[in-house]
Structure 1
Amino acid sequence: MATTVLGISAYYHDSAAALVGADGIAAAAQEERFSRRRHDSAFPAQAVRYCLDEAGLTLGDVDAIAYYEDPARKFRRVLATYAATAPHTWSSFREVMPAWLGWKARTLDTVREELRGLGLGAVPPVQRFGHHQSHAASAFLPSPYESAAVLCVDGVGEWTTTSLWHGAGQRVEPVAELRFPHSLGLLYSAFTYFCGFKVDSGEYKLMGLAPYGKPVYARLIREKLIDLKPDGSFHLDTDRFEYLHGHVMTGRRFEELFGGPRRQPEAPLTEREFDLAASVQEVTEEVMLRLARTARERTGERRLCLAGGVALNCVANGRIVEEGIFDEVWIQPAAGDAGGALGAALLAQRAARPHTRTGRDAMRASRLGPGYDNDRIAAYFDANAVPYTRLSPEELSGQVAEQLAEGKVVGWFQGRMEFGPRALGGRSILGDPRNPAMQSVMNQKIKFRESFRPFAPIVLAEDAKEYFKLSQPSPYMLIVAQVAEQQRLESDGAARGLERLRTARSTIPAVTHVDHSARIQTVTAEADPRLHRLLGDFKERTGCSVLVNTSFNVRGEPIVTSPEDAYRCFMRTDIDTLAIGDLLLTKADQPAWTEDGDWRDEIPLD
């Protein structure tokens, strides 16, 4: 049995590395955080270096390398797809085959070569696991449950697009699956593309857009695009899509169905996009609910674990929780492909799961990335003549709470970086949720992104039910629930589209979406003492134990990793204050910030 395993996901989307040792998960990070290229698919060389450095190891100290999918099976699926769609896919075939006949056909050898090139010691044996097998392991093995149903839903791995597993003890056994080209993830991505957003990164925008519309196309989707069975299995009418042909997601037949061509990126949003988003979201939730009920029936389990890209659809997750299909639901915070690196490492190690005896998960609050001590941070600032004040943790928390209560926006850089797409209080931008203007200020002047995008609340776990209709903890910001009735305000029901942004719907309007929902993160003192203290200090000053929390980055950029990244983002935006470790920086005290050219021209919009 391997004791120390390095897991790797690479080459397709959101490459990552994860290290699992005798004491559990030691480190995990996406390559994008180091390369500063969003969703970087390159070999995760810098993430590998970080994981080994964090544990004080070399490759020679590692027992095995675990790769998150089976390249040979994936190649067979690609070949079978081209064979079934020829000759229409000839141009795409000519583009992609050289890579598949070259390095992709020998992916595991390529991984070995990349690792050797790092010069970090002898490369241990490389094992490979199935894509959905890795997802399932990432969902169940770190979960707090001795046994559970496990549901994995994404675009596609090798062949599988949806899979049901039964987790018990140290094992995760397959129960049922759906196969390509019938994919809920690809259905959702098709609408993402059709509404003018980028596939594999814009799906969360579509989810945020849905409450502005009405599901007027939902019946059409059910009748023309998806044949949905009572057990949640389904078939797509693939003739209506273009993704089998290799270039785009939708084409003429999709356009005929929904009244015209796709929205061009950056073009104004119209009622059609609002309604399309609402419609595909409703269908997605219906599929997920049926799959969850089948998972309960087929496994007999009272607890559910979720992973795969569709598990990041926190509205659908919230529906599963709200319906009470399971007593508890746990979602892997790195539910997408990055989490596959962790799942593969856990499969190779097959270690004991002592954390289940305490009822806690093994993710260490998802704080598995790099951390920086005060001396390292101060050294960078001193070398660059950056003024700051060094405080005790208690003093810093009090001063930040005071500034938040005054309406200031704060960059909050504390401890180790989060693994996964959500900022959970390690690399966050914080604001006062009671301020009705906070959403537009943070979207347009700090994040430089679309005004419709909702912000998430963080709340003291002990006060969560005072603000939200939430029946279980939500530590990873992956469950949406309604704002509690006692917090709601009367609103103008006549407003349409983006005009609805101007209406305050609750006592915490900056985190209340137009349908009175919120994507919630509950914070405990055990998981994050500093963030819990800050929420308590803010409550002491305002009576409110909720803050706005968004990721510490701007549109098109990965979440910040280092003090250098944080300071650059702080100076490029209208963030008022930076709290980084025990150091507090005020924008008004900083020297003038200059750069060659406009940095926004260098970052691709998503």
Structure 2
Amino acid sequence: MSYIIGISAFYHDSSASLLKDGEIIAASQEERFTRKKHDASFPKKAIDFCLEQANISIEDVSLIVFFEKPFVKFERIIDSLKNTVPYGFLFFKKAIQSWIKIKLWIPSIIKKELNYSGKIIFSEHHEAHAAGTFFTSPYKESAIVTIDGVGEKVCITIGYGKDNFVKIIKEQFYPHSIGLLYSAFTQYCGFKINSGEYKLMGLAPYGKPIYKDKIINNLVTISEKAEVTLNMKYFSFDKGKTTINKLFCDFFGEPVRESEGEMTSFYCDIASSIQSVIEDFMLKLLIYAKEITSSNNVCLSGGVALNCKSNGEMLAGKVFENIWVQPASGDSGASLGAAFVGHYNYLKNKRKILENNLNKQIYLGIGFSNLEIEKVLKKFKITYYKKENDDLLEIISEELKNKKIIGCFQGRSEFGPRALGNRSILGSPLFEDMKKHINIKIKMREGFRPFTPVVIEEKMKEWFLIDKPSKYMLFTFKGKNKYKIPSCIHEDNTARVQSLHKEENQFLHSLISRFESKTGCPILINTSFNVRGEPIVNTPIDALQCFFNTGIDVLMLENFIIFKEENKTISDKLIKDIDFELD
């Protein structure tokens, strides 16, 4: 048997993935174990989990693939700073330390951390993204579009995948990056880069795109072939400083919004404007990709591919007959792509097309048995009830009907940025004030943030303008009955839909069905089980801490139910200050 580990590390969202003869056995972000959001450190804990899940040791691993080529990236950084002397000197002085100590010695670090003596190879960053999306797709051949901030030197690639090989056809190079342009506006609106881009997307429907022309006439030029040229006088990321500069702020006439400051209509309009620019650009990019590949299919990856509003517009544009977006499109998913580069491009193995199924694509993290969970509950002297599935469904659906908020912890945790039912907070979408309540009282985050409706797949067309399943929360669709489910339809009457088939998550499907029998609504609110700045919960203790430190009413840990009102006195170890760094 052939075991391959893919690693993504040392930038943001470090992760590890394990393949066994081309099948995904396990994958997880390091942040889930360290509890440090977007953890960039070497993913030792994630690798240990992958090995344990497969019941193997490091000696059984025949190949390790790192997700990018550090020397190529280092060369780009040196060239960039050299071209901006003397402005980039202080950044260079700071950055060089981490490169000399860590980032140029990846093979040595892998061997030392893992006690590994086997083969290590490197993929290119965009090659890993391309492989990750194509080899998880259901297509035998496809155009491949990867778009992010920057890899080693490349910001956008168009490629082509067929059978067991992916090839990059077209590249666009740093610093002219549409991803970095979007991040610049993320910073301008007071959100954290590489973390808050989805907030910018969520804010956009509250404004109007009145600055769109100003952006495309002054800050960025986009050709008919979707080639990007930034007007670099407005940006500072090439000098190693803040992404935007004083000229940028002067151009729009307002300062950078304070991270916890007032959200005025100006910043809403800015968000709407840059979101519209991105949507137009992505359609143009797909048209060009179609032209040079002649494929009917397209696979998307990279951080920008997580912009579900843009994805929804691309789907509606029907440039390609079929669109696949890798569920873990950001750098966390690049570890999986790197492993596929090793399995297919390097070892030349025959292609196995994976099932488009949550269990095969998403539920790849750690899980816990009832026995393991009960030990934790007894240790902390928690009052709990153990119920068989039918009783569990009845109790939880009734609580949801009565406006209670449920923490749901079941099965293996999700890989990637979305919670799709196994580490989720669930609520009823029928109450108009539920969105504000969960955002502010439970998630402790901005009130404008939208929630996903998870809907029974057979009923999705009755509630949304949707003609294909949307399993991974990667596309937005227009709602048909906003007045019935007001708390999960966004300001622009769209929703980031998760459609659910019974075979993919039988418990959640049954719970929604039971809720429908009581209310007539086959939909629940689904949001990730965490608070702002915290990684999604990974273990029973993580879940208990989040439960007892928020306004969640009921916690379900596999077959156990815990009611907040019955646990007034609990261990100090489960009470903590919410001290996560705000995203």
Instruction: Give the shorter-chain TM-score range.
Output: over 0.9
Which amino acid in the other structure matches residue 37 of structure 1? K
The correspondence for 1:194, drawn from 188, 193, 201, is: 188
In the alignment, which residue of structure 1 is the partner of 2:447? 451
In structure 1, distance between residues paired with 2:189 and 2:575: 28
Residue 101 of structure 1, CA deviation: 3.1
Which amino acid in the other structure matches residue 174 of structure 2? F
User: Aligned-residue CA RMSD in angstroms?
Assistant: 1.5
Which amino acid in the other structure matches residue 579 of structure 2? E
Change (3 A) 1:159 1:23: closer
Give SS of 1:561's match.
coil
Change (3 A) 1:593 1:184: farther
The correspondence for 1:320, drawn from 286, 294, 314, is: 314
Residue 321 of structure 1, CA deviation: 0.5
TM-score, with structure 2 as normaliser: 0.97
Give SS of 1:305's match.
strand
Query: For residues 96-115 of structure 1, what are the structure 2 equivalents within 5 Å?
Result: 96-115=95-114
Tell me if the contact between 1:59 and 1:123 (Cα under 8 Å) persists in the aligned partners: no
Which amino acid in the other structure matches residue 50 of structure 2? C
Change (3 A) 1:476 1:297: same
In structure 2, distance between residues paired with 1:554 and 1:529: 26
Give SS of 1:206's match.
helix
Is structure 2 residue 31 aligned with structure 1 residue 32? yes
Query: For residues 522-561 of structure 1, what are the structure 2 equivalents within 5 Å?
Result: 522-561=499-538
Give SS of 1:148's match.
strand
Change (3 A) 1:373 1:313: same
Change (3 A) 1:352 1:409: farther
Query: For residues 152-171 of structure 1, what are the structure 2 equivalents within 5 Å?
Result: 152-171=146-165
Is structure 2 residue 406 aligned with structure 1 residue 407? no
In structure 2, distance between residues paired with 1:396 and 1:480: 32
In the alignment, which residue of structure 2 is the partner of 1:48? 47
In the alignment, which residue of structure 2 is the partner of 1:435? 431
Change (3 A) 1:598 1:51: closer
In structure 2, distance between residues paired with 1:44 and 1:123: 18
Residue 110 of structure 1, CA deviation: 2.1
Residue 113 of structure 1, CA deviation: 2.0
Which amino acid in the other structure matches residue 418 of structure 1? E
Tell me if the contact between 1:144 and 1:362 (Cα under 8 Å) persists in the aligned partners: no
Residue 325 of structure 1, CA deviation: 1.3
In the alignment, which residue of structure 2 is the partner of 1:9? 8
Residue 68 of structure 1, CA deviation: 0.3
In the alignment, which residue of structure 1 is the partner of 2:373? 377
In structure 1, distance between residues paired with 2:340 and 2:474: 22
Residue 112 of structure 1, CA deviation: 2.2
Residue 223 of structure 1, CA deviation: 0.6
Residue 602 of structure 1, CA deviation: 2.1
In structure 1, distance between residues paired with 2:177 and 2:510: 43
In the alignment, which residue of structure 1 is the partner of 2:540? 563
Query: For residues 331-410 of structure 1, what are the structure 2 equivalents within 5 Å?
Result: 331-350=325-344, 351-355=349-353, 360=356, 364-410=360-406
In the alignment, which residue of structure 2 is the partner of 1:586? 563
In the alignment, which residue of structure 1 is the partner of 2:167? 173
In structure 1, distance between residues paired with 2:504 and 2:573: 41
Tell me if the contact between 1:142 and 1:363 (Cα under 8 Å) persists in the aligned partners: no
In the alignment, which residue of structure 1 is the partner of 2:138? 144
Which amino acid in the other structure matches residue 149 of structure 1? A
In structure 1, distance between residues paired with 2:559 and 2:39: 31
Which amino acid in the other structure matches residue 89 of structure 1? G
Is structure 2 residue 472 aligned with structure 1 residue 472? no
Which amino acid in the other structure matches residue 204 of structure 2? A
Which amino acid in the other structure matches residue 219 of structure 2? L
Tell me if the contact between 2:545 and 2:575 (Cα under 8 Å) persists in the aligned partners: no
Residue 591 of structure 1, CA deviation: 3.8
Give SS of 1:157's match.
coil
Query: For residues 509-528 of structure 1, what are the structure 2 equivalents within 5 Å?
Result: 509-528=486-505
In the alignment, which residue of structure 1 is the partner of 2:73? 74
In the alignment, which residue of structure 2 is the partner of 1:247? 241
Tell me if the contact between 2:548 and 2:574 (Cα under 8 Å) persists in the aligned partners: no
In the alignment, which residue of structure 2 is the partner of 1:496? none
In structure 1, distance between residues paired with 2:365 and 2:508: 17
The correspondence for 1:125, drawn from 119, 123, 126, is: 119
Which amino acid in the other structure matches residue 348 of structure 1? G
Residue 398 of structure 1, CA deviation: 2.0
Q: Deviations over 1:415-458 (max 9, x none)?
A: 00000000000100000001101001101110011111111110
Tell me if the contact between 1:423 and 1:551 (Cα under 8 Å) persists in the aligned partners: yes
In structure 2, distance between residues paired with 1:168 and 1:452: 42
Q: Deviations over 1:341-393 (max 9, x none)?
A: 0000011112444335xx63696140000011111111111122111111112
Question: Which segment drifts farther, 323-332 or 508-517?
Answer: 323-332
Q: Deviations over 1:140-184 (max 9, x none)?
A: 001111111111100000011011111111111111111100111
Query: For residues 222-233 of structure 1, what are the structure 2 equivalents within 5 Å?
Result: 222-233=216-227
In structure 2, distance between residues paired with 1:49 and 1:389: 33
In structure 2, distance between residues paired with 1:482 and 1:557: 30
- How many residue pairs end up in the alignment? 579
Query: For residues 487-498 of structure 1, what are the structure 2 equivalents within 5 Å?
Result: 487-488=481-482
Residue 43 of structure 1, CA deviation: 0.5
Change (3 A) 1:363 1:240: farther
Which amino acid in the other structure matches residue 6 of structure 2? G
In the alignment, which residue of structure 2 is the partner of 1:426? 422
- Report the identity percentage: 40
Query: For residues 51-62 of structure 1, what are the structure 2 equivalents within 5 Å?
Result: 51-62=50-61
Tell me if the contact between 2:144 and 2:299 (Cα under 8 Å) persists in the aligned partners: yes
Which amino acid in the other structure matches residue 99 of structure 1? S
Tell me if the contact between 1:208 and 1:453 (Cα under 8 Å) persists in the aligned partners: yes
In structure 1, distance between residues paired with 2:226 and 2:538: 40
Tell me if the contact between 1:24 and 1:362 (Cα under 8 Å) persists in the aligned partners: no
Tell me if the contact between 1:140 and 1:167 (Cα under 8 Å) persists in the aligned partners: yes
Tell me if the contact between 2:549 and 2:575 (Cα under 8 Å) persists in the aligned partners: no
Give SS of 1:214's match.
coil
The correspondence for 1:296, drawn from 274, 290, 293, is: 290
Tell me if the contact between 2:382 and 2:570 (Cα under 8 Å) persists in the aligned partners: no
In the alignment, which residue of structure 2 is the partner of 1:205? 199
Is structure 2 residue 554 aligned with structure 1 residue 577? yes
Change (3 A) 1:598 1:248: farther
Tell me if the contact between 1:431 and 1:547 (Cα under 8 Å) persists in the aligned partners: yes
Q: Deviations over 1:435-490 (max 9, x none)?
A: 10100110111001111111111001111111111232111111111102xx14xx
Q: Deviations over 1:219-275 (max 9, x none)?
A: 011011110112222111111101111121111110111102111110111111101
Residue 594 of structure 1, CA deviation: 6.1
In structure 2, distance between residues paired with 1:362 and 1:552: 18
In structure 2, distance between residues paired with 1:185 and 1:157: 11
In the alignment, which residue of structure 1 is the partner of 2:456? 460
In structure 2, distance between residues paired with 1:602 and 1:520: 31
Give SS of 2:112's match.
helix
Tell me if the contact between 1:143 and 1:362 (Cα under 8 Å) persists in the aligned partners: no
Tell me if the contact between 1:112 and 1:126 (Cα under 8 Å) persists in the aligned partners: no
Question: Which segment drifts farther, 156-165 or 229-238?
Answer: 229-238
List gaps (5 residues or longer) in structure 1: 117-121, 489-505
List gaps (5 residues or longer) in structure 2: none
Residue 595 of structure 1, CA deviation: 4.3
The correspondence for 1:416, drawn from 383, 394, 412, is: 412
In structure 2, distance between residues paired with 1:556 and 1:233: 35
In structure 1, distance between residues paired with 2:143 and 2:518: 43
In structure 2, distance between residues paired with 1:597 and 1:395: 28
In structure 2, distance between residues paired with 1:537 and 1:596: 35
Question: Which segment drifts farther, 363-372 or 156-165?
Answer: 363-372
